[in-house]
C-alpha cells in the first residue's frame, strides 16, 4: 500500500504544481499571450517551421525529452535509497526541470525559434554564442554516439521489440502523409497505429516474425549503430510532419497507455499482490532501503545523485528540444505552458514510476539461477553493489522486470508484459536519437553561419547532418580493447556515458543563465531562477572534476585510467563553462539592461 500512496501523492503533487506554480510562471513572469505571432507562423516553411496543434507538439516534445533518460537514471540512483531519488525527482521536476524547459521554450518563441545558443549571443555577448554552441555540439555528439548503442543493447536484450519498432516507421510515414494531404485529425489514425504495434508485440515473436527478430538481434552492435544513424539522417532532413510528428505522437499515446497499465497494475498489486508464484500472490513491498548514503562501491551521493538522475528531474538536453524543434512548431504562445512545463511534470511522474518499479516491482518476483526470487532477495540480486547495478542492461532490466511485474499482476502474461516494456524503452530511445540528430544539424548550421569562419559548406542541411552522423559513428565505434574489428567496434563507446550525465546537467545550468538574462533585460523577477542556476552549474562542474582528476569510490579517475577521450572532452566542457560564466559576470558588472533591445 505504501507504494501506491507514493505514486498517488506524486501524481497529485505534479497536477497541483501545474495549476499553481506553472500558472504563475505563464501569467505573471512570462506573460504568455494568445495573440502573439509564433515563429511557426511567421517563418513557416513546412519543413522545420510548421504550426502544430498542441496535442501533437506535446507528443513530439515529450517523447523527444524522455528517451531512456528517466529510466536509466532513476534505476541506478535508487542505490542511494528510494527517498533521495524520489525527492530529487518530485521537487527537482517542479521547481527546476519544468522551469528550465518552460523558460527555454518561451525565450526561443520570443526570438524567432532560435536555439538557446543563438539567443545567448544576443543577451550576453557575441562570443558567448559560439561558446554556448560548442557546448551544445559537444553534448549532442555524445547523445548521438550513445543512444545508438543504447538502442542496439535494448534490441539484444529484448528481441521481441525489434519488429514493433521497425513497423512503426512506415505507419508513421503513412499517417503523416495522409494527414498533411487531407487535413484530418491525428488521434484515430494514431490509435489504430498503436493497436497494430501492440498486436505485433503480442504475436510478433512467434513464427516467421520471431525468427526475424532473433536474426536481427544477432547483428553486431556497430551494424545496428550504422542502421540507426542512417535512419536518423533521413528523419532529420525530412519535413517534421512527414515522420517526426506522427511517430512521436504514436509514442506519446504509447507512453500514456503504458503509464495507465503500470498504475492499474500497481493498484491491483497493492490490494491483491503480484502474479501468482506457486499458487501464492506475493505481497507488494518496498525492498530497497529508504536511505543508503554509502552503498557498496558507489560514488558519493553528492554530487552524483543529481548527475545520475537528469531526465525526470532536470535535464539540459530538454533546452535543446524546446528551443530547437518544439519552438518551431508551437502555433499559440499560451500552449508553451502545456508543452514545456506539462511535459516535464509528466516525465517526472514517469521517473517516479520507474523508481517504484525498481524498489517495489522487483519484489514481486524475478528469475535467477537460484529460481524465482521475491522480496529482499530479488532486490539484492539486482542491487548487490554499484558494479552489479551499474551496467546498462542491469538498469534497463530492473525497470522492465519491475514494471512488467505490475502489469502481470492483472493477469497479463509476463512474457507479453516484458515485451511491452522492451518496445516502450526502445521506441523512446529512438525518438531521442532522431530528434537529437535534427538538433545537431541546427547547431552545426548555426556554427557555420558565424562570420569569418570558412564553413559555408556546412550550412547545407544535408552536409551538416552527414557531418554530425559520421562524427557520432566514429565515437560510437570506439572498441573497448583497441582492436578495430566488427565484433569489437562499439564495445567501448559506452565509456562516454559518465560524460553524458555531467555535460547534460551543465547545459541546464547554462540555459538558466540565458533565461535569467532574458528576464533581467526586461526587469522581470529572477529570484526563482538564481538558486536552480547555481545548483545546476555547481553539480556538473563538481562531478566532472571528480571523474576527471580525483576519482570516485566506484572507479579511478579518467586521468588514472588513461581514458584520454573522456578526459579531453571533460576538460573542454569545464573550460567552456568557466568562460561562459565569466562572460555572464561581465554582463552583470556592466548592468546592460539596455542591451537586448530588439529581442521580443
The predicted-structure confidence for 387-422, as pLDDT tens digits, reads as follows 777 666 778 889 999 999 999 999 999 888 988 898
CB atoms under 10 Å from CB of 272, counted, come to 13
> What distances in angstroms separate CA 210 from CA 203, 207, 220, one per listed residue?
9, 5, 19
Residues of the chain with pLDDT under 70: 184, 204-206, 390-392, 480-482, 491-494, 553-555, 562, 589-600
- pLDDT at residue number 595: 46
Sign of the dihedral through C-alpha 264, 269, 274, 280: negative
* Diameter of the chain measured on Cα atoms: 74
What gap in Å lies between CA 581 and CA 128, rounded to an integer?
9
For the packed helices 342-359 and 69-77, what is the interaxial angle rounded to 10 degrees? Answer: 40
**What is the predicted pLDDT for the residue at 554?**
64
596: left (phi over 0), alpha (psi -120 to 50) or beta: left
Altogether, the residues listed in the chain come to a count of: 600
Helices (H), 300-458: 301-308, 317-324, 335-336, 342-359, 375-382, 386-390, 392-408, 414-448
460-472: string of b/e by CB count within 10 Å (b at 16+)? Answer: ebebbbbbbbebb
d(CA 319, CA 334) in angstroms, rounded, equals: 18
pLDDT score, position 594: 43
Asked if 288 contacts 32 with a C-beta cutoff of 8 angstroms, the reply is no
Beta-bridged to residue 280, according to DSSP, are 277
**Residue 220 contacts residue 489 (beta carbons within 8 Å):** yes
Identify the three-state secondary structure at position 284.
coil
* Other residues' Cβ atoms within 10 Å of the Cβ of residue 196: 15
- Calculate the CA 115 to chain-centre distance: 18
User: Which of 240, 298, 280, 306 minimizes the C-alpha distance to 91?
Assistant: 306
Q: pTM of the entire structure?
A: 0.92
Which of 403, 359, 336 lies closest to 22, judged by CA? Answer: 336
What angle in degrees, to the nearest 10, is found between the helix axes of 244-272 and 187-203?
60
Whole-number Å distance between alpha carbons of 343 and 339:
6
> What's the pLDDT at 198?
82
**What does R_g of the chain's alpha carbons equal in angstroms?**
23
Alpha helix (H) residue ranges in 283-370: 301-308, 317-324, 335-336, 342-359
Judge contact between 52 and 40, C-beta under 8 A: yes
Structural domains in the chain?
56-590 (1.20.1740.10)
Q: Which residue has the cell 518563441?
A: 109
Q: State the Cα–Cα distance between residues 223 and 312, nearest whole angstrom.
A: 31
Report the phi/psi class of residue 483: left, alpha or beta, with left for phi > 0 and alpha for psi in -120 to 50: beta
Q: Which residues neighbour 312 within 8 Å (Cβ) at sequence distance 6 or greater? A: 69, 70, 73, 74, 89, 92, 93, 97, 347, 348, 350, 351, 352, 354
Model pLDDT, residue 297: 82
State how far the alpha carbon of 477 is from the alpha carbons of 152, 299, 437, 440, 491, in Å. 12, 28, 17, 19, 7
Amino acid at each position: 500500500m505504501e507504494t501506491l500512496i507514493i505514486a498517488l501523492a506524486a501524481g497529485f503533487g505534479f497536477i497541483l504544481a501545474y495549476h499553481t506554480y506553472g500558472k504563475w510562471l505563464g501569467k505573471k513572469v512570462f506573460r504568455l499571450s494568445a495573440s502573439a505571432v509564433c515563429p511557426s507562423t511567421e517563418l513557416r516553411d513546412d519543413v522545420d517551421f510548421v504550426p502544430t496543434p498542441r496535442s501533437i507538439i506535446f507528443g513530439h516534445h515529450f517523447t523527444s525529452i524522455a528517451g531512456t533518460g528517466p529510466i536509466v537514471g532513476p534505476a541506478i540512483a535508487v542505490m542511494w535509497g528510494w527517498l533521495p531519488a524520489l525527492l530529487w525527482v518530485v521537487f527537482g521536476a517542479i521547481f527546476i526541470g519544468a522551469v528550465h524547459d518552460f523558460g527555454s521554450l518561451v525565450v526561443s518563441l520570443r526570438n524567432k525559434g532560435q536555439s538557446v545558443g543563438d539567443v545567448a549571443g544576443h543577451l550576453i555577448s557575441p562570443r558567448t554564442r559560439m561558446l554556448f554552441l560548442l557546448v551544445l555540439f559537444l553534448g549532442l555528439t555524445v547523445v548521438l554516439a550513445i543512444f545508438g548503442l543504447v538502442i542496439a543493447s535494448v534490441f539484444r536484450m529484448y528481441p521481441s521489440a525489434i519488429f514493433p519498432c521497425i513497423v512503426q516507421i512506415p505507419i508513421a510515414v503513412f499517417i503523416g502523409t495522409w494527414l498533411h494531404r487531407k487535413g484530418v485529425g491525428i488521434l484515430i489514425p494514431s490509435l489504430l497505429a498503436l493497436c497494430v504495434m501492440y498486436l505485433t508485440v503480442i504475436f510478433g515473436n512467434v513464427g516467421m516474425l520471431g525468427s526475424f527478430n532473433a536474426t536481427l538481434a544477432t547483428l553486431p552492435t556497430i551494424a545496428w549503430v550504422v542502421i540507426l544513424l542512417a535512419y536518423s539522417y533521413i528523419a532529420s532532413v525530412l519535413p517534421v510532419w512527414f515522420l517526426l510528428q506522427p511517430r512521436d505522437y504514436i509514442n506519446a499515446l504509447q507512453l500514456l497507455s503504458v503509464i495507465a497499465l503500470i498504475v492499474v497494475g500497481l493498484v491491483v498489486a497493492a490490494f491483491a499482490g503480484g502474479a501468482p508464484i506457486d499458487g501464492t500472490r506475493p505481497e507488494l513491498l518496498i525492498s530497497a532501503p529508504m536511505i543508503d548514503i554509502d552503498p557498496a562501491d558507489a560514488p558519493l551521493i553528492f554530487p552524483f545523485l543529481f548527475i545520475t538522475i537528469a531526465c525526470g528531474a532536470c535535464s539540459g538536453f530538454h533546452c535543446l528540444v524546446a528551443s530547437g524543434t518544439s519552438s518551431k512548431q508551437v502555433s499559440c504562445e499560451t500552449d508553451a505552458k502545456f508543452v514545456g512545463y506539462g511535459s516535464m511534470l509528466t516525465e517526472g511522474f514517469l521517473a517516479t514510476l520507474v523508481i517504484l518499479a525498481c524498489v517495489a516491482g522487483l519484489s514481486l518476483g524475478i528469475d535467477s539461477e537460484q529460481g524465482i526470487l521475491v522480496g529482499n532477495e530479488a532486490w539484492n540480486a539486482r542491487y548487490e553493489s554499484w558494479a552489479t547495478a551499474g551496467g546498462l542492461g542491469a538498469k534497463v532490466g530492473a525497470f522492465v522486470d519491475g514494471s512488467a511485474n505490475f502489469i502481470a499482476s492483472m493477469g497479463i502474461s509476463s512474457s507479453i508484459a516484458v515485451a511491452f516494456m522492451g518496445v516502450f524503452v526502445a521506441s523512446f530511445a529512438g525518438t531521442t536519437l532522431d530528434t537529437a540528430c535534427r538538433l545537431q544539424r541546427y547547431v552545426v548550421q548555426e556554427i557555420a553561419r558565424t562570420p569569418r569562419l570558412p564553413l559555408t559548406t556546412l550550412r547545407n542541411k544535408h552536409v551538416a547532418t552527414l557531418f554530425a552522423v559520421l562524427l557520432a559513428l566514429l565515437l560510437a565505434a570506439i572498441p573497448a580493447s583497441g582492436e578495430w574489428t566488427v565484433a569489437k567496434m562499439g564495445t567501448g563507446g559506452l565509456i562516454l556515458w559518465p560524460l553524458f550525465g555531467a555535460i547534460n546537467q551543465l547545459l541546464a545550468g547554462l540555459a538558466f543563465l540565458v533565461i535569467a538574462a532574458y528576464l533581467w533585460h526586461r526587469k522581470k523577477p529572477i529570484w526563482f531562477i538564481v538558486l536552480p542556476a547555481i545548483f545546476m552549474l555547481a553539480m556538473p562542474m563538481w562531478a566532472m572534476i571528480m571523474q576527471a582528476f580525483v576519482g570516485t569510490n566506484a572507479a579511478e579517475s579518467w586521468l588514472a585510467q588513461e581514458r584520454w577521450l573522456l578526459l579531453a572532452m571533460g576538460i573542454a566542457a569545464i573550460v567552456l563553462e568557466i568562460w561562459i560564466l565569466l562572460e555572464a559576470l561581465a554582463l552583470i558588472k556592466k548592468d546592460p539592461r539596455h542591451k537586448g533591445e530588439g529581442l521580443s
